[in-house]
Amino acid sequence: MKVVTMSALGCLLAAAFLSTQINPDAYREGYSRDPLLRAEVNQSSLARILGEFRTGASDMLFIKTERYLHSGVGYVPHLTEDLLTVQGTDKGVDEHLAEMGDAEEDVFEHEEEAEVLVPRAESDYRGWIGDMHREIKPWLDPSIPHRHTDGKELIPWFKMMTLSDPGYIRGYVVGAFWLKRHQPEAAMAFIEEGLKENPEAFQLHLSKGMLLLSEARKRAGKGKLPGDTPESLEKVLLAKDAVQLAATYMLSSRPPLPEQGDITDDPGWGKYEESDAMAAVNLSVMLESDFGDPETAQILREQFRPLMPDNPRLQ
Amino acid sequence: MSSVPHQVGCVMKGSLLELWRRQDVWILFLLMGVYTMVALGARITGDGTLASGTFMLNLGISLAGYFANGFTALIAIRQFPDEIENRTIYPLLAKPLTRDSLLIGKWCACFVGGSLAFLAFHLIALVVSPASEPISGTLHLQYLLLQFLSLGWIAAAGLLLSLILPRSLGLGILLLMYAGGESLFQWGESREVALRYLLPRFGSLNVATRLTDGIPALKAAEVGSMILYAVAWALFCFLLARHSLLRRSL
Q: Note the helical H segments in A143-293.
A: 155-164, 169-182, 184-197, 202-220, 230-253, 271-291
Residue A199 is predicted with a pLDDT of: 86
Predicted TM-score (pTM) of this structure: 0.61
The answer to whether the peptide bond before residue A255 is cis (omega within 30 degrees of 0) is: no
> Are residues A55 and B225, on separate chains, in Cβ contact within 8 Å?
no
Residue B103 has pLDDT above 50, yes or no: yes
Chain segment A88-130, per-residue pLDDT in tens: 667 666 665 554 444 444 444 555 566 777 788 888 888 888 8
Please choose, from the candidates A13, A14, A3, A16, the residue with its C-alpha nearest in 3D space to the C-alpha of residue B239: A3
Q: How many helices, marked H, and strands, marked E, lie in chain A?
A: 14, 2
Any chain B CB within 8 A of the CB of A33? yes
Residues of A in contact with B190 (CB under 8 A): 166, 193, 196
Residues of B in contact with A37 (CB under 8 A): 51, 54
Please choose, from the candidates A297, A272, A283, A301, the residue with its C-alpha nearest in 3D space to the C-alpha of residue A209: A283
Chain segment A21-42, per-residue pLDDT in tens: 888 777 767 777 676 666 666 6
Say if residues B248 and B169 touch (Cβ distance below 8 Å).
no
Residue A54 has pLDDT above 60, yes or no: no
Say if residues B62 and B147 touch (Cβ distance below 8 Å).
no
Q: Distance from B11 to chain A by nearest Cα, in Å?
A: 23
> Are residues A46 and B54, on separate chains, in Cβ contact within 8 Å?
no
> Are residues B209 and A8, on separate chains, in Cβ contact within 8 Å?
no
Q: Distance from B168 to chain A by nearest Cα, in Å?
A: 25
Least reliable range by pLDDT among A57-61, A78-82, A141-145, B226-230: A78-82
Angle between helical axes of B24-45 and B99-128 (0-180°, round to 10): 20
Residue A173 Cα distances to A83, A185, A189, A198, angstroms: 12, 14, 12, 12
Of A16, A17, A37, the CB nearest to B51: A37
Which structural domain, as residue segments, surrounds residue B61? 4-247
Distance in angstroms between the alpha carbons of the first and the last residue of chain B: 21
For chain B, state the CA radius of gyration: 20
Residues of B in contact with A55 (CB under 8 A): 55, 58-59, 62, 208-209
ipTM strictly over 0.90? no
- Consecutive H or E run containing A220: helix A202-220
- At residue B191 the predicted structure's pLDDT band, cuts being 50, 70 and 90, is confident
Residue A51 is predicted with a pLDDT of: 46
Distance CA A105, CA A154 (A): 16
Please choose, from the candidates A164, A157, A158, A170, the residue with its C-alpha nearest in 3D space to the C-alpha of residue A270: A170
Q: Distance from B205 to chain A by nearest Cα, in Å?
A: 8
* Chain A residue closest in CA terms to B186: A163
Distance CA A122, CA A87 (A): 40
Say if residues B58 and B52 touch (Cβ distance below 8 Å).
no
A130-149: buried (b, 16+ CB within 10 Å) or exposed (e) per residue? beeebeeeebbebeeebbbb
Residues of B in contact with A18 (CB under 8 A): 225-226, 228-229, 232
Residue A104 is predicted with a pLDDT of: 43
> Are residues A45 and B59, on separate chains, in Cβ contact within 8 Å?
no
Please choose, from the candidates A149, A148, A120, the residue with its C-alpha nearest in 3D space to the C-alpha of residue A134: A120
- At residue A251 the predicted structure's pLDDT band, cuts being 50, 70 and 90, is confident
Any chain B CB within 8 A of the CB of A47? yes
Paired with A149 in beta bridges are: A107
How many domains does chain B contain in total?
A: 1
Distance CA B14, CA B4 (A): 15
Secondary structure of A20-89 in the HEC alphabet? Answer: CCCCCCCCCCCHHHCHHHHHHHHHCHHHHHHCCCCCCHHHHHHHHHHHHHCCCCCECCCCCHHHHCHHHH
> Are residues B212 and A31, on separate chains, in Cβ contact within 8 Å?
yes
Calculate mean pLDDT across residues B230-239.
Answer: 95
Secondary-structure breakdown of chain A: helix, strand, coil percentages, each rounded to the nearest 5: 65, 5, 35
Distance CA A45, CA B50 (A): 13
> Are residues A31 and B226, on separate chains, in Cβ contact within 8 Å?
no
Of B196, B204, B213, the CB nearest to A32: B213
Distance CA B95, CA A135 (A): 69
Sign of the torsion formed by the C-alpha atoms of A30, A32, A38 and A44: positive
Chain segment A252-307, per-residue pLDDT in tens: 888 777 777 777 777 667 777 888 888 888 888 888 888 888 888 888 888 888 87
Please choose, from the candidates A305, A282, A273, the residue with its C-alpha nearest in 3D space to the C-alpha of residue A201: A273
Q: Distance from A41 to chain B by nearest Cα, in Å?
A: 5
Least reliable range by pLDDT among B13-17, B131-135, B196-200, B246-250: B246-250
Distance CA A20, CA B236 (A): 18
Calculate mean pLDDT across residues A233-252.
Answer: 89
A interface test, pick of B239, B244, B245, B248 with most A CB neighbours within 10 Å: B239
How many CB pairs below 8 Å do chains A and B form together? 136
Q: Distance from B210 to chain A by nearest Cα, in Å?
A: 7
Distance CA A259, CA A257 (A): 7
* Chain A residue closest in CA terms to B63: A55
Chain segment A134-170, per-residue pLDDT in tens: 888 877 787 776 666 666 777 788 887 787 777 788 8
* Chain A residue closest in CA terms to B206: A24
Sign of the torsion formed by the C-alpha atoms of A178, A181, A186 and A192: positive
- Consecutive H or E run containing A107: strand A107-110
Say if residues B64 and B115 touch (Cβ distance below 8 Å).
no
Residues of A in contact with B222 (CB under 8 A): 21-22, 24
Residues of A in contact with B159 (CB under 8 A): none
Beta strands, E only, A111-196: 146-149
For chain A, state the CA radius of gyration: 23
Sign of the torsion formed by the C-alpha atoms of B183, B186, B191 and B195: positive
> Are residues A40 and B52, on separate chains, in Cβ contact within 8 Å?
yes
